Structure 1
Amino acid sequence: MIPAEGVIVAAARWLELLGRSTELQASILIRSSSRYTDLTPTQYSTALEWLHSMSWTRLPKSSLDRSQTLGTMTSQSKREYLLASLLGAADPPWLENADVLVHSSDDLPQDIERWSEILGLSPASGLRVIRRVSGKIDLARRAQVGSAGEVALCALLEAKWPGAINHVAATDDGFGYDISASLQEVEWHLEVKSTTRRGRLSFFLSRHEFETGLADSHWKLLVVGLDDALEASCVAEVDKSALRQFAPADRTTAASWESAKYDLGGRHLVPGLTFLPWGDEADVGAHGLLATGTSNRSPHFAWMPKSS
């Protein structure tokens, strides 16, 4: 729950005081000094409870260690820390796509503008906090979604070809692909990118994965579309020529790229996994992902419009 304005102000004051005193000392000062009487005792106690229940708990638990940690932070850093806690607690719908929606401090959402104003922070600080929080959330979410997509695709393929599928990334992520599929004397190497987003395909590709794909004719980059429960609902192959077309280029031997973010559209996707020997059987396979009405029945991708 997001606290009221007065509680947010009180929380900021607690952070300032706890950088140089214990909770007991800070509490005595709050009750005795006229500079703190514009807020009620209830607001201060509510603010302290909220701090303990939020990301505040990631600070050291002992009063001495917590005081030392906060003492090394500037006043602005403490307020930005508080703003980050507010944003993380609110988890607004736009946060997942903040990298696209919030390009500059002129694009700050209204809730960030209001909280920044309450805390006396500039728009630049608000933007910095958004990028920090969204970056952390994105890393954690990408790991969760990525793992779910790999497991789902392994299950789909294993149901069709028992014993032929090896989830290599589960034990070693250095191959340059996630799954190997040994089918009809061909070993396919499948790099998997997963997404829960509709209408937008965004993923990261390491240089090792990129160069492995260029050198290996049996390497495929696949996208698994997941629903809100992280269950697979569609699959597609990414056109390898798009990877080459949009890849970064090293401009000097003094620096080289190691990871690239791709934002692709439906025109860069080949629906289904048509390169695999699915045959003509009528069953729809795991998760109901097989395309119907085609002679080459393979998991189908209908996540994005082809015109995008």
Structure 2
Amino acid sequence: MAKEKHKLAYITGGSSGIGLAIARRLVQQGIGVYLFGRDPHKLESAVTQLRKEWEGTFASGAKNDTGLPQNSSASKEMPPPIYQHPLDVSDPQQVYACIPSCLAESGTPDILINCAGIARPGYFEELAPEIFERTIKTNLLGTIHMTRAVFPSMAQQGSGRIINVSSLAGLVGVFGYTAYGASKFGVIGFSETLRAEARRYGITVQVLCPPDTDTPQLAEENQYKPPETRRIAGNARLLSPDQVARRVIAKLSSSSFYIFADTESALIYHLHRLFPRLVERIMDWQIKDVQKTKQAIPSKEK
């Protein structure tokens, strides 16, 4: 497939973590970005950081690890446009009021990356209904609202690429993630259906399914993980946001639906697809082992 030429990407959750790492990689390739996030101070900091990195990496001719030659055309051009706008994607009124003015300012994006997301693990019976509502509003409905706001513009121009961020926990049910899993399974279902409808407009739809990634969001959710969840998650390799971003950039000219950040994630997906009972038994064994340990601790203290 011929390499697509992209000029602008909209990125929700763009002020930190995977969203910011993807933005950094895009800017390094001369692609403009429009960052959206709930915290205006974090957004401002992210934009300042991206501009400084551009100046230090390209304008000075310093060595970089972007994969671009030092004498590439990108290093000779003006920095790509970097926009920002505070936005809570869980609020549809904000999304539908904000995006038209953003489109008027920047033009239609070639890429939309729905990266905004939250996670609050815990035992199902202990999670408040509000947690389910907030998680689904942000992760699933936020993705849907943002896509609906941008989609008509992409359809009118007859091209575009939408990358919705799900998770390995959107492919495999993980203990402790009933709220998060419900939202991320939903993102995959939405993306798969949208993919079929978007083809007639020349729009490609993909879904990114990263494993645990070293982000501020992961640090937050680690405070609430049940021990069973920690045991299951402890078997997987922790990735950096940049490792995930590199994989996304590598797939910007691909028609593949799933984007996996590493071979281990792809293997887990295929194992679960082909041998679901095997994966279930492995996780059940780990869960039972943790629960036996928890039961044994009080008896030892007596």
Taking structure 2 as the reference length, the TM-score comes to: 0.22
Structure that is richer in helix per residue:
2
More strand by percentage: 1
Tell which structure's C-alpha radius of gyration is larger. Answer: 1
Higher RCO, 1 vs 2 (CA within 8 Å, ≥6 residues apart): 2
The two structures have a TM-score, normalised by structure 1, of 0.21
